[in-house]
């Protein structure tokens, strides 16, 4: 049994992480940290978490904690991962991994020097829908992928995470917050890497100093062209579609974790195969997989190097918004 401490026990921990941990086979939460100690004690009592701390450093030094889950605001990820690594604790860091590629690289190198496992919580890699898309592509069910499309929108006026509208804390708007999910899912499904990105974004009177919606064009190494649309204003939707030279696979709300997902395989405009899958156990699978990696029984499918690759794509997208040009994605990722 791997005992986790959650650093930054806020909305995400309550809405997603704790329901997932409640169903896991090989892990449990024994500690939490939160700057607001009254809210920390309230969460401790509500979930029966015995150890309460005010900082990630204190949590990481707790002898009852085997692994640290970093769920703090993005600007804190670098310092929090450093703290966990310094204490010799395996650490699973929420996405986006950090504020920029330089910070991600520093995190990866620190974990490597310390011989500590570092993973990134790209939870879509643990969804059944994404596993099926990946299988369809790998088995050649659509032929050679030509186009891909991934979208993620949700309405975020008066969102509880008010800091998502502050670049100095969030690192960016929906490109960083949810675009990273789309980019990672496409990389994982296509088993290919992005070489160039172009981006257009817009803001509004409520979006602070970040974009509120964006359109990205991705060029993959093997030639697939992808469109990624992200927004914190449009109604919730998460479609995914891959079009190849002999077929297509698609699903509405492919990334959804709350309701069944219908996946369609199409050829010549006709549905030739369809199935319905559930992503409700994605958060369960994610932490169980990390626990198995901590015990040396499995390789975690999204190590820190993968988070770095995603962040380098995000960095290129933000450069493109400034230059108005397609920008090359840095490819120097030490293995």
- Reported as a single tens digit per residue, the pLDDT across 16-25 is 999 999 999 8
Q: What CATH code would you report for 2-121?
A: 3.40.50.720
Q: Report which of 287, 303, 243 is spatially closest to residue 111, judged by C-alpha positions.
A: 303
pLDDT value, residue 162: 87
For CATH 3.30.360.10, list the domain ranges present in the chain.
127-278+312-328
Place of tokens 């029984």: 297
CATH architecture of 127-278+312-328: 2-Layer Sandwich (3.30)
Distance CA 307, CA 77 (A): 12
Which pair of tokens denotes residue 284?
């369960």
pLDDT of residue 331 exceeding 90: no
| Average pLDDT, rounded, for the chain | 96
For CATH 3.40.50.720, list the domain ranges present in the chain.
2-121
pLDDT value, residue 222: 97
Distance CA 63, CA 145 (A): 49
pLDDT value, residue 160: 85
Q: What is the pLDDT of residues 142-171, one digit of tens each?
A: 999 999 999 999 999 888 888 899 999 999
User: Mean pLDDT throughout 310-330?
Assistant: 97
Which pair of tokens denotes residue 303?
């190590």
Judge contact between 295 and 168, C-beta under 8 A.
no
Q: What is the pLDDT of residues 236-254, one digit of tens each?
A: 999 999 999 999 999 999 9
Distance CA 20, CA 94 (A): 15
pLDDT of residue 183 exceeding 90: yes
Distance CA 241, CA 226 (A): 10
Q: What is the pLDDT of residues 52-88, one digit of tens each?
A: 999 999 999 999 999 999 999 999 999 999 999 999 9
pLDDT of residue 29 exceeding 80: yes
pLDDT value, residue 333: 58
- Tell me the H-state helices in 77-127: 77-86, 101-114
The enclosing H or E element of 40 equals helix 37-47
pLDDT of residue 335 exceeding 50: no
List, edge to edge, every strand of the sheet that includes 51-53: 51-53, 27-33, 2-7, 67-70, 91-94, 118-121
């Amino acid at each position: 049994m791997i005992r986790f401490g959650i650093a930054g026990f806020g909305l995400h921990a309550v809405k997603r992480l704790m329901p997932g941990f409640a169903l896991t086979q090989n892990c449990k939460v024994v500690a939490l940290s939160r700057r607001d100690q009254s809210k920390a004690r309230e969460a401790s009592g509500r979930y029966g978490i015995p150890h309460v701390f005010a900082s990630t450093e204190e949590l990481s030094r707790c002898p009852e904690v085997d692994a640290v889950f970093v769920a703090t605001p993005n600007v804190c990820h670098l310092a929090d991962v450093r703290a966990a690594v310094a204490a010799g604790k395996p650490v699973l860091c929420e996405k986006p991994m950090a504020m920029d590629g330089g910070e991600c690289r520093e995190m990866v190198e620190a974990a490597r020097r310390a011989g500590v496992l570092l993973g990134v919580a790209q939870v879509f890699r643990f969804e059944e829908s994404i596993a099926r898309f990946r299988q369809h592509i790998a088995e050649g069910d659509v032929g050679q992928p030509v186009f891909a499309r991934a979208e993620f929108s949700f309405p975020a006026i008066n969102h509880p995470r008010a800091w998502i509208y502050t670049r100095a804390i969030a690192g960016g708007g929906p490109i960083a917050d949810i675009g990273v999910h789309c980019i990672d899912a496409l990389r994982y499904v296509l088993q290919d890497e992005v070489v160039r990105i172009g981006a257009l974004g817009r803001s509004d009177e409520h979006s602070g100093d970040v974009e509120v919606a964006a359109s990205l064009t991705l060029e993959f190494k093997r030639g697939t062209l992808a469109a990624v649309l992200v927004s914190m204003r449009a109604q919730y939707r998460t479609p995914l579609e891959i079009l190849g030279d002999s077929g297509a696979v698609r699903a509405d709300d492919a990334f959804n974790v709350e309701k069944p997902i219908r996946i369609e395989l199409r050829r010549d405009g006709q549905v030739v195969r369809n199935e319905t899958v559930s992503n409700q156990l994605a958060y369960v699978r994610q932490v169980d997989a990390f626990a198995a990696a901590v015990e040396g029984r499995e390789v975690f499918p999204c190590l820190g190097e993968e988070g770095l690759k995603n962040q380098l794509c995000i960095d290129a997208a933000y450069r493109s918004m400034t230059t108005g040009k397609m920008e090359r994605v840095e490819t120097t990722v030490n293995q």
